[in-house]
Amino acid sequence: MPLITIYNPVCGDRSAQRFVEQHVLPLLAEHGKTVNTLAPTQHAGHAGPLLVDFLESTTDTGSITVVLASGDGTLHEIINHLSLQTRTMPRFHFVLVPSGTANALYSSVFPPPADSESASDDEKVEYKLQSVRSFINSGHTIPLTLAIATLSAPPSAKTRPQVAVSSVVVSAALHASILHDSEALREEFPGIERFKIAAQKNSTKWYTSYVKLLPAPGAGRVQIYDPSVKAFVTHPDSDGDDPIVDLDGPFAYFLSTVNVDRLEPKFRITPLSRALPPDEASCEVVIVRPLRDPSVEWDTKEARESWVSKLWQIMGGAYQDGVHIDLRYDEKGKIVTGGEGPLVVEYVRCGGWEWIPDDIDESAHLLCSDGAISQIEKGGRAVCLAATPKEDAGFVVYV
Ligand SMILES: Nc1ncnc2c1ncn2[C@@H]1O[C@H](COP(=O)(O)OP(=O)(O)OP(=O)(O)O)[C@@H](O)[C@H]1O
């Protein structure tokens, strides 16, 4: 199978080239794996065209192995570029070398050990070589589910919809605002601290939007996580007559993942995605709507400001191995674990969703697709659907 190694020299802490040269290439050579092309990305958006050029230069086009040393954003660029090609594409087999800032996909398929901070240098290197080792040894792969988001303008605009294909996350509300603002901090803060700084800046925002949750075809109903049985159950508003669930805002958080249970090694936002995997292509959606809190009656500036501590308590749960999905409100609005109170987080499994932002709320018009930010036009909407490509096409990852 033709093999190309691509590395992004500027992602994360800029160590991809060194790591590839010192560890990846020698290991591949030792096991008789020939690298046909070795290429750095030379600018943003370069990884996809590099791969298409490689495809054109090779006669054996059944499937292609791509050793990719980057973060999630470079993989996102590749998938989007290849999805735009009009000719039939082979199946792409990715060997991931985590070199980005967050490495959500890699750390989801290879969760770091609890004591990873105290790991020796050799253990840190070995941790990053797991996908390479499975390529060499077991050959075990998993297919990637894709989340296809279509951003439409209102019919009067007569513009074509924009499509963004994701393999990790599609979000609006707080997460999209964080990704939007954190990009400007990349130079100064190359690590994940830039996300925390951007989160502080956006902590009092609530986002006015209207949401529809769409069932996956196999399940036929939208499902919601029920902490009392520790499983997904049919959403009470999704029935045979009308399986679509309608939700009103305001939303503090609205985020949907495919393939991953975490966005950073320790931020396990959709924890059941890998622990209790879906049977079909599905979006795992985490929703926080502050008006579910019995102590919040109105959406006011004061209510938003005093609710910030609860927002951090909820997000903190994602850093504690994903306990946020079990939180409830007591009758006074205190966040507790256990009891019968309203769920703090609505954790939904579904086939897709629509996000229809209110015209007057600028911030609600941001959409994040694997870190790339798009703007939903006024009067428009985003529709996101989960899909798994056919057997002989699409993208698989060595795990
Ligand atoms: N040579 C280059 N110069 C400048 N930018 C580049 C170059 N090569 C790739 N890029 C851009 O670097 C950006 C960051 O890459 P990537 O998303 O893979 O890493 P990251 O953001 O550090 O990690 P993660 O997405 O895991 O948080 C991508 O948007 C890509 O377009």
Per residue in 246-299, pLDDT tens?
A: 999 899 999 999 999 999 999 999 999 999 999 999 999 999 999 999 999 999
Same domain, 293 and 375: yes
**ipTM for the whole complex:** 0.96
Same domain, 153 and 116: no
Same domain, 65 and 168: no
Same domain, 341 and 382: yes
Nearest CA, atom 7, ligand 1: 43
- Domain end marker among 105, 124, 139: 139
Same domain, 231 and 95: no
The b-or-e profile of 284-321 (16+ CB within 10 A means b, else e) is bbbbbbbbbbeebeeeeeebbeebeebbeebbebbeee
What type of residue sits at position 26? P
Residue 337 lies in a domain: yes
Same domain, 91 and 226: no
Same domain, 151 and 295: yes
Count: domains in the chain:
2
- Domain end marker among 139, 169, 185: 139
Residue 392 lies in a domain: no
Q: By mean pLDDT, which of 19-28, 31-40, 183-192, 292-301 is the weakest?
A: 183-192
**Ligand 1 binding pocket includes 72 (Cβ within 6 Å):** yes
Judged against a pLDDT cut of 70, whether residue 392 lies above it is answered with no
- Classify the C-alpha dihedral 251-257-263-267 as positive or negative: positive
228 Cβ contact partners less than 8 Å away, ≥ 6 residues apart: none
Quote the ligand 1 centre to 78 CA distance (angstroms).
12
Percent of the chain with pLDDT over 70: 99
Same domain, 203 and 94: no
Mean pLDDT of the chain: 94
Mutational test site, ligand 1, from 11, 106, 186, 370, max ligand atoms within 8 Å of CB:
11
> CATH code at 110?
3.40.50.10330
Quote the ligand 1 centre to 115 CA distance (angstroms).
28
Closest listed residue to residue 47, CA positions, set 11, 2, 91, 88: 11
Pairing mode, if any, of strands 283-288 and 346-350? antiparallel
> CATH code at 164?
2.60.200.40
Residue 398 lies in a domain: no
Judged against a pLDDT cut of 90, whether residue 70 lies above it is answered with yes
Percent of the chain with pLDDT over 90: 84
- Average confidence (pLDDT) over 173-189: 90
Same domain, 317 and 193: yes
β-sheet bridge partners, residue 335: 329
Same domain, 23 and 158: no
Residue 397 lies in a domain: no
Judged against a pLDDT cut of 80, whether residue 391 lies above it is answered with no
CA atoms of 334 and 356, how far apart (whole Å): 30
Quote the ligand 1 centre to 38 CA distance (angstroms).
17
Same domain, 381 and 234: yes
What is the domain range of residue 100?
Answer: 3-139
Residue 396 lies in a domain: no
**What's the N-to-C CA distance of the chain in angstroms?**
18
Cα–Cα distance list, 273 to 29, 110, 348, 352, 374 (Å): 35, 14, 11, 15, 25
Judged against a pLDDT cut of 70, whether residue 396 lies above it is answered with yes
Closest-lying ligand 1 atom to the alpha carbon of residue 192 = 27
Confidence at residue 184, expressed as pLDDT on a 0 to 100 scale: 82
Tell me which H or E stretch contains 315.
helix 301-319
Residue 225 lies in a domain: yes
Residue 299 lies in a domain: yes
Same domain, 203 and 348: yes
Closest-lying ligand 1 atom to the alpha carbon of residue 190 = 22
Residue 395 lies in a domain: no
Tell me which H or E stretch contains 247.
strand 245-248
**Ligand 1 binding pocket includes 370 (Cβ within 6 Å):** no
Q: By mean pLDDT, which of 62-66, 69-73, 320-324, 365-369 is the weakest?
A: 62-66
**Ligand 1 binding pocket includes 103 (Cβ within 6 Å):** yes
Specify the pTM.
Answer: 0.94
- Domain end marker among 87, 114, 139: 139
